[in-house]
Structure 1
Amino acid sequence: MDTLIKEIPEELRQKRGWKVELNGEAVENVFHLKIFNPKFGEVNYGMTPGGYDGWSFHGIGGGGVVTVPFSIIDGELYVGLVKQLRQNQGGEAWNVPRGFLNPNESHFKAAMREYEEEVRYLSPDRRVKPLEGENCNPNSAFFETAGKGEGVKYYSIEILPIQLELDPEQNAFKFKSGLLDPATKQAELILKCRFFAWRKSVQVADMFTVAAVGRLLAAQLVRF
């Protein structure tokens, strides 16, 4: 896999800012380090294009997708979020369905897959549409998305109001429990998705969700 990280020149190896430890022991004279997972991608440490030592992550598929479920209820935009365990955020967090691209997988196919995997429900007429805008870099200090077509792409999928009902405990809407009959494990996952007013959705701690609401708002403003 190509990476922007190169070997640190010999004359600069004593000036490294980052230190490397392996199994608790310091490793000296490191000029290039790679950690690779064939399912996700690789982390490289070495000389960055900026001329200093650093590290970066390059996804195996070159990026990812965010699929934003939404509904227009009484003229108000509601955004569908799922609560998932995000250990790096300290526990459970509300966020939009998202994920990495698989090798040789298109952004569109990944968007469909991630939505079905995380929400377990697909709008009957499969109205998945791309949200306009450039592919995003999650964190340009550490993520590589320099290749053609790489980065995170945003999609939307509209859910009809007739498919939802009010959840007074969350002050949100949810899928009607009768959508799947009989109840299954997939139905339980469906019931975990909640549609919050966009003003509440944009305040969650997940940056992908905040960006997704912005893209969705821009699309809806054009529409209306």
Structure 2
Amino acid sequence: MTLRHPIRIPGITELPLSSAGMRIGLFGGSFNPVHEGHRLVVEETLRRLRLDALWILVTPGNPLKDHRELAPLADRVSAARAMLDNPRVRVTGFEAAQGFTYSWQTVRFLTQTLPDRHFVWIMGADNLADFHRWERWRNIAAMVPIAVYVRPGSQRRAPASIAAHYLSRWRIDEEEAPRLATTRPRAWVYLHGRQSALSSSAIRAQHHHVKAK
């Protein structure tokens, strides 16, 4: 099992408070930077999955991405808290304090440490298209139900992906999304709705373009 060197930053890397029976969405990513597209997914999944809380898991660094342009963890957590200001949303970098490298480590830790919570893994459809490249992705699907939110450019790739094909028999209808949190894994739902064309990589590229002028 690959672990990073643990990083603890007061006010940044603590695990959010919760209580037994809560329905909690887990939305992980680099958030480098956070943008309105992230807010849209947060708002839609909170409402449509009828979640009690949604935890934004700001990763210390995605193993599949280049880290050279990665802003400091504390800066990304602070920016996400400022933008995603909602009483049901908690933004945390707790994965860094645990030394986690992969999402399956996070999911295993949470489901084992807090077995009386109902966790749902939330991802954009662009991530579903590449989900089969994630470390132990089948384990993630076996531990928590998954909600996939539509993303521009992924409407065809995501439903035809290796992971979507593997999970096809456990897919539930969108109308049943409110029960997903209490449905046995490998249940998952593909949510259609409002979309944003924004992406963190495009925002960084635009920023570099402006600086270069």
Q: What TM-score, normalized to structure 2?
A: 0.26
Q: Which has the higher helix share?
A: 2
Q: Which has the higher strand share?
A: 1
Larger radius of gyration: 1
| Higher RCO (CA-CA < 8 Å; seq separation 6+) | 2
Q: What TM-score, normalized to structure 1?
A: 0.25
